[in-house]
Amino acid sequence: MPDFQAVSRATHASLRWRRYSSYAFAAGDAIAPLVAQELPRAAVALPIAFIASEERFLPVAVQGLAPGRNLFVAPDGRWLGGYVPAVYRGYPFALADTADGQQVLCFDAESGLLSDTKGEPFFDAEGAPAPPVREVIEFLSQVHANREATTQLCAVLQRHGLIQPWPARIQTESGEQAIEGLHRIDEAALNALSSEAFDELRHAGGLPLIYSQLLSMQHMPILGRLAQAHAMVAKPAAGGELDLEFLKQDGTIRFGNLDPS
């Protein structure tokens, strides 16, 4: 389990950190939160849904068929999709809110990426955050700000009745499996919007979110095929190699000029 601790000069001035080379830290995430800014790129590679959280809806990447399993992480820690959600790209750092409303940079002490001698320093000679750490802070701050904007966009969609339950069912080698708790855009409600309501959505910036979710739904069958690939690897005679050829031949829409990173 992650153990995020506040980064401080008192604790970390003499320590170093290494960048992750494995996504094993994400292997237990059946869903990953997404922000609006990344949705057009995520939609090219991952199924996207909404989940309810405290009477609000938030967009997420659907990564597994059941809690506790991320099918996009290979047994050796490789990421198997064409896009990595932003929430993972700041690891092993994260921002946490303090009781007085401030934000503090934290580091996962259980990541195995903390070192006395190897990697990047946390602070420079003057005691300020070192340049790589400043870059991480800037990235995480951008994601945090966009998450607030994403919450507001989802509130607009919800106000217009555009989010409905999604009874998703995935075909696996053992038969159909339902994924509970997902929501999607209600296309009928979208098409029935008045011109004024549609203009409000457009001016709020909600259309990329809507169309990204709808486009991404074509990727749901990938989860069943990934589950089958993982099951085959788990068999004693499998040799430990995932057969991922279907990721190249799934017939999904590709956009060549989009940066997948």
Q: What is the pLDDT of residues 69-106, one digit of tens each?
A: 999 999 999 999 999 999 999 999 999 988 888 899 99
Residue 254: is its pLDDT beyond 90? no
Q: 252 pLDDT band (50/70/90 cuts)? A: very low
Residue 33 DSSP SS3? strand
pLDDT at res. 99: 84
Partners of 96 in the β-ladder: 104
Res 257: pLDDT: 34
| Interval 156-165: pLDDT, tens | 999 999 999 9
Token reading at 164 = 């409905």
- pLDDT, mean of residues 7-13: 95
Structure tokens at 108: 């996962």
Take residue 241 and report the two structure tokens written for it. Answer: 């190699």
Report the alpha-carbon distance of residue 1 to residue 238 in Å, rounded: 29
Q: How many residues does the chain have?
A: 261
Q: Is 175 helix (H, G, I), strand (E, B) or coil?
A: strand
For helices 207-216 and 195-204, angle between their N-to-C axes, nearest 10 degrees: 90
pTM of the full predicted structure? 0.87
Lowest mean pLDDT segment, chosen from 22-36, 57-71, 161-175, 176-190: 161-175
Ordered strands of the 31-33 beta sheet: 31-33, 56-62, 48-53, 183-185, 163-165
Residue 135 scores a pLDDT above 50: yes
Predicted local confidence at residue 92, as pLDDT: 97
pLDDT of residue 246: 55
